[in-house]
Amino acid sequence: MLRILYTLCDLLSCFCALASPVVILHWLLKVVDSAPLRGIVRALDPLLTPTQKVLEVWVKLPPVTYAGHSFSTVPGLLAGMLALGFFSLNFFSEMLKVTEQRWDVQAEAATQRQRLRKMQDAQQRKEKFLPENTRIFIFLDYDATLCPLMNERLNQLIERESARIHSRMFTETVLEFEQIDAALRFALAFSQALLGYYSTLTPADPQPPFRMALHGTDRSFNTTSATAETRRLVQFVVNNQILVSQSAKALLDIKGSSLAYRLQSIGLYAVERGTERELYRLFPDKSANSAQGL
């Protein structure tokens, strides 16, 4: 509605801007009364004379005298009114435009607030749903029998983080954790302890590689299904690396952690039945490990 009004005002102001000098020109040409210019006066008379006569009925102004002839000053008043109309309409049009802009800004701000509220509500639902409906698993592929010292360290970390052992046979260890932070602590501590231990050995000593996947599964899954789902992730891990699934990262984003770590995306993978999930590689911040007692 405002757009129609200020467009109309712009059109009327343009008319006033054009009409005002035409009225003055017509009036001056009548006063000068030059023969070559009388054709212009006659052409403008049908447009301006009726308006002038209407104004003369309502407005009484003293005439001016030039070369023995008396001329009405009403055209000057008409030109002034047109000029005033131009400025007034132009000002009113600008006010309407400013009002429309303010309304647009307010509407955009309201839309942004509504969008922000929706995002916050969605985040709150996610923060409530994920921790309550997710089980945290770690699948470790490592032959601990070849390194008795690291086997002992592995047992210590399992006990320290109160991990539940679901399977431990040959080179596979499946652990469940109550908190994502505990799973992250275990993964960082084991990997750094193992790699630190290997750095003290000679090339001839056994140094079996490890592969680890940290995953969050739905609580509706039974342990067998959750273990199988976590085991499938190990195929995307290279030796001596830790993989974090998309669901585990979501938990880390929500719950946070005091540990120093960073995640690097390794791309989208078809995890099962063609379902694509983004997977991440976990990197520890070695400079912070001593301070955190890993």
pLDDT at 253: 85
Q: Which residues pair with 64 in a beta bridge?
A: 71
pLDDT at 189: 94
What is the distance between the alpha carbons of residues 263 and 49, in angstroms, rounded to a whole number? Answer: 84
SS3 content of the chain, % helix, strand, coil (to 5): 60, 20, 20
What is the distance between the alpha carbons of residues 7 and 13, in angstroms, rounded to a whole number? Answer: 10
The β-bridge relationship of strands 241-244 and 211-218 is parallel
pLDDT at 266: 92
Other CB atoms within 10 A of residue 54 CB: 12
Closest by Cα among 214, 269, 219 to 245: 214
Closest by Cα among 207, 79, 224, 223 to 143: 207
What is the distance between the alpha carbons of residues 125 and 156, in angstroms, rounded to a whole number? Answer: 36
What are the chain's domains?
2-102 (no CATH), 142-292 (3.30.70.1230)
The residue to which tokens 């954790």 are assigned: 177
pTM for the complete prediction? Answer: 0.56
Other CB atoms within 10 A of residue 194 CB: 22
Residue 122 DSSP SS3: helix
Residue 263 DSSP SS3: strand
pLDDT at 58: 66
What is the distance between the alpha carbons of residues 238 and 142, in angstroms, rounded to a whole number? Answer: 12
Q: What is the pLDDT of residues 26-80, one digit of tens each?
A: 667 666 666 665 676 667 667 666 776 666 666 666 666 665 566 666 677 777 7
3-state secondary structure 209-229: CCEEEEEEEECCCCHHHHHHH
| Distances from the Cα of 228 to the Cα of 88, 136, 234, 277, angstroms | 78, 13, 10, 16
Closest by Cα among 238, 260, 236 to 246: 236
Closest by Cα among 264, 160, 277, 167 to 217: 277
pLDDT at 123: 55
Low-confidence ranges of the chain (pLDDT < 70): 26-27, 29-38, 40-42, 44-45, 47-49, 52-74, 120-131, 272-274, 286-294
Under 8 Å between Cβ of 251 and 216: yes
pLDDT at 215: 93
pLDDT at 130: 59
